């Protein structure tokens, strides 16, 4: 009975996963707002239009990965590491290109910083996410499916 109680306590979502997921949602939302701001406020060249769409898609992917991580899903941490890494590269490139073109926006300036924070927190949450999923798997094998 003692190991079952340990499994229950380990199956709960730790705070690091919630914080990491929240940072990923914030980074994804700011990235999407950068794309929306650019699409709605300027006459764009083809390259800038495609870049804005890429910002929207990567931001939405990061936000989805973050919600998956907040629920301590097995793929959540890996998805957020992947999308946050891509978001960091895309948003940093976008910042360089937009500043070189004379456009400075607060969303564009904060997006790489938030993506880097989301990446770091996602890397830190790989271990706890694996630990939670191992405990949930053990409980499911005992017939105690938690439904999470």
pLDDT in tens, 31-83: 999 999 888 877 778 888 898 899 999 999 999 999 999 888 878 899 999 99
- Judge whether 146 lies within some domain: no
Domain count, the chain: 1
Which residue segment(s) compose the domain that 64 sits in? 2-141
Buried b / exposed e along 76-106 (16+ C-beta atoms within 10 A): bbbbbbbbbbbbbebbeebbeebeeeebebe
pTM over the 0.75 mark: yes
Q: How confident is the model at residue 147 (pLDDT cuts 50, 70, 90)?
A: low
- Judge whether 30 lies within some domain: yes
Q: How confident is the model at residue 1 (pLDDT cuts 50, 70, 90)?
A: very low
């Amino acid at each position: 009975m003692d190991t079952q109680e340990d499994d229950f306590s380990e199956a709960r979502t730790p705070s690091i996963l919630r914080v990491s997921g929240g940072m990923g949602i914030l980074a994804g939302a700011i990235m999407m707002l950068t794309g929306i701001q650019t699409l709605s406020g300027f006459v764009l060249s083809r390259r800038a239009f495609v870049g804005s769409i890429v910002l929207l898609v990567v931001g939405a992917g990061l936000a989805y990965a973050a919600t998956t991580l907040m629920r301590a899903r097995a793929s959540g941490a890996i998805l957020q590491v992947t999308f946050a890494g891509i978001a960091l590269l895309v948003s940093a490139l976008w910042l360089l290109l937009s500043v070189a073109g004379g456009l400075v926006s607060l969303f564009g300036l904060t997006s790489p910083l938030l993506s880097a924070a989301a990446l770091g927190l996602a890397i830190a949450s790989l271990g706890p996410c694996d630990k939670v999923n191992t405990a949930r798997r053990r409980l499911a094998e005992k017939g105690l499916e938690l439904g999470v």
